[in-house]
A and B are shown apart, each in its own frame.
Chain A
Amino acid sequence: NAGVMQNPRHLVRRRGQEARLRCSPMKGHSHVYWYRQLPEEGLKFMVYLQKENIIDESGMPKERFSAEFPKEGPSILRIQQVVRGDSAAYFCASSPMTGMNTEAFFGQGTRLTVV
């Protein structure tokens, strides 16, 4: 049973380009969370999705960022017109269900560098 798979592991983009980060949750998991870790800072929540629905996007910047979790395929975090300040590690976590005692399983992260 493969864990949470994120790709690419490393992504370099020039300012103004688009970045697409993919997350395949563990088998049987229908809940996906995206977190961002800026350099020298702690992890911060961005968005919580279930299949085909965005449940909570309170941590997502209002512009340039979007997320989806389609019925088929991985969850995608999309950053348009990237800027240097978007350079960070982006982590995805998945869980099988919502509720009080839900274990969190994290991917290896995607390290985005904007040059």
Chain B
Amino acid sequence: KNEVEQSPQNLTAQEGEFITINCSYSVGISALHWLQQHPGGGIVSLFMLSSGKKKHGRLIATINIQEKHSSLHITASHPRDSAVYICAVRSEYGNKLVFGAGTILRVKS
């Protein structure tokens, strides 16, 4: 079993829909990152969380440390949101990131 599990693996939505991507992890962490990767592109950091909730524009990220679970929400989705969204955790004992397999999001107009 992977240390970081994401769901769903693939997600297709209509423009304007509210989207949720989930991430569960099984290790103690010091921080959790949500990352975005466009096809053939680089990796962009969206959020870094160690507790609570953060909001940036139409993106919201939450984390529940007790339940070892995080969610990334996209409100009023748009085709330009189509990308791979990756959850990654930084272990409380180390510096490296451990990644989920990613969620492939496609938003149709």
Stretch among A21-29, A40-48, A61-69, A73-81 lining the B interface: A40-48
Does A104 sit at the interface, judged by CB under 8 A?
A: yes
State which residues 86-100 of A face B: CB under 8 Å. Answer: 91, 93, 95, 98-100
A59-B96, A101-B48, A106-B44 given; A43·B88 CB < 8 A: yes
Inter-chain contact B90/A102, CB cutoff 8 Å? yes
Interchain CA distance A48-B99 in the complex, whole Å: 15
A65 to chain B, nearest CB (A): 16
A91-B43, A100-B31, A103-B48 given; A42·B86 CB < 8 A: yes
Q: How many residues of B contact A (CB 8 A)?
A: 25
A42-B102, A105-B45 given; A33·B30 CB < 8 A: no
**Smallest CB gap from A42: residue in B:** B101
Inter-chain contact A109/B42, CB cutoff 8 Å? yes
State which residues 51-73 of B face A: CB under 8 Å. Answer: none
A106-B42, A106-B43, A109-B42 given; A45·B48 CB < 8 A: no
Which residues of B have CB within 8 Å of A95?
Answer: 95
Inter-chain contact B94/A56, CB cutoff 8 Å? yes
Instruction: Identify 18 new A-B residue pairs, CB closer than 8 A, beyond the known A43-B97, A101-B30, A101-B50.
Output: A33-B97, A35-B97, A41-B101, A42-B86, A43-B86, A43-B88, A91-B42, A100-B90, A100-B92, A102-B90, A102-B95, A103-B45, A104-B97, A106-B42, A106-B45, A107-B42, A109-B43, A111-B40
